[in-house]
Amino acid sequence: MTRDQYTLTDPTTLYEANEPQAQELDGPGTDAEMTPAADLGEQTYRGTGRLKGRKALITGGDSGIGGATAIAFAREGADVAISYLPEEEEDAQRIAGLIREAGTSAYTFPGDLTDAAFCKSLVADAVEALGGLDILVNNAGKQQFNEDLTTLSDEQFDATFKTNVYALFYITKAALPHLKPGSTIINSTSVQAYSPAAILVDYASTKATINTFTKALAQQLAPKGIRVNAVAPGPVWTPLQPAGGQPQEKLKDFGDESPIGRAGQPAELAPAYVFLASPESSYVAGETLNVNGGMPTP
- 20-29, 232-241, 260-269: the lowest-pLDDT one: 20-29
- The mean pLDDT of 158-185, rounded to a whole number, is 98
Q: How far is Cα 138 from Cα 107, in angstroms, rounded to an integer?
A: 16
Residue spans of the domains in the chain: they are: 52-291
Catalytic residue flag (residue 170): no
Q: Which residues of 149-159 are buried (b: 16+ CB within 10 A; e: fewer)?
A: eeebeeeebeb
Flag whether pLDDT at 59 surpasses 90: yes
Per-residue confidence band for 249, with pLDDT thresholds at 50, 70 and 90: very high
Does the N-terminal peptide bond of residue 36 adopt cis geometry, omega within 30 degrees of 0? yes
Give the contacts of 277 (CB within 8 A, at least 6 positions apart): 51, 54, 56, 73, 78, 135, 137, 184, 186
- The mean pLDDT of 270-285, rounded to a whole number, is 98
Give yes or no for a contact between 204 and 193, defined as CB atoms under 8 angstroms apart. Answer: yes
What is the sign, positive or negative, of the torsion defined by CA atoms of 216, 144, 157, 86?
negative
| pLDDT of res. 2 | 80
- ∠ CA 236-241-247, nearest 5°, is 125
In this prediction the pTM is 0.97
Percentage of the chain exceeding pLDDT 70: 100
- Dump strand ranges (E) for 75-171: 79-84, 106-110, 135-138
| pLDDT of res. 17 | 87
Flag whether pLDDT at 1 surpasses 80: no
Per residue in 61-113, pLDDT tens? 999 999 999 999 999 999 999 999 999 999 999 999 999 999 999 999 999 99
Q: How far is Cα 291 from Cα 258, in angstroms, rounded to an integer?
A: 11
Mean pLDDT for the chain overall: 97
Flag whether pLDDT at 298 surpasses 90: no
Q: Which residue type is seen at 100?
A: R
Per residue in 189-211, pLDDT tens? 999 999 999 999 999 999 999 99
CATH number of 52-291: 3.40.50.720
Flag whether pLDDT at 235 surpasses 90: yes
Catalytic residue among 194, 203, 273, 283: 203
